Homo-oligomer: A and B are copies of this chain.
Amino acid sequence: MTAPGSRRGRRGAGHDTRTQLLVAARRRFASDGFDGATVRGIAADAGVDAAMINHHFGGKEALFLAAVEAPFDPGQYVRSVRPEQIEGLAARLLGTLLPVWDSPAGAAAVGLFRSGLHRDWGVSLLRQFIQRRALAVIVEHLPGDDDERALRASLVASQITGLILTRYVLRLEPLASAPHDQVVALIAPNLQRYLTGTLP
């Protein structure tokens, strides 16, 4: 992730307006959260009209994805595995995400993940990104009341972020080189317990 304020440029040209908006968005999303940050406030910080956010990004969600520099939207893949069918969801989720993480875009995402952890504002953006762009797509389909669903989602995050960390960052063998179908078979039962199992 590029540090907020590190890409300040001259104002006026479209490219500069876009950059100003990204810098302001990173600051606001990190400090106020996605819901707390307003399109109007970000535009004011950037010194441009709020209409410029729609013009350059198409809206607040797209501005957020651009601010985090996400190489892809994980929500798109999560939606593609039909999270409304919770039986067998863990295996479909891992079977879909492993090839993405092993692709060039996935390598960029892993790099983003590593660099995001290094600074507090990066952690804040990363937390919101995981919650809003990945977990939120699943959470509504999980069993239990709101508290239980949120707990299940954070347990899911503990296994999935740990898998990314162990396989792609620390590269601990033999998990780092295991073929996709073996990783799915090893980890899906644990992930499925977090999704739908009986929790204490």
Contacts of A176 in B (CB 8 A): 154
With an 8 A cutoff between CB atoms, is A194 at the interface? Answer: yes
Residues of chain B contacted by A162 (CB below 8 angstroms): 157-163, 165-166
The residue from B147, B165, B186, B200 contacting A161, defined by CB atoms under 8 A apart: B165
Pair A167/B175 contact, Cβ less than 8 Å: no
What is the CA–CA distance of A199 and B193 in the complex, to the nearest angstrom? 15
CB distance from A102 to the nearest CB of B (A): 16
Q: Which 7 A-B pairs have the closest CB atoms?
A: A162-B162, A154-B175, A185-B200, A158-B166, A158-B162, A190-B190, A118-B118
Chain B neighbourhood of A130, CB < 8 A: 170, 172
Q: Assuming the A-B contacts A118-B115, A199-B186, are A174 and B157 also in contact, with contact meaning beta carbons closer than 8 angstroms in the complex?
A: no
Q: Does A171 contact B (CB under 8 A)?
A: yes
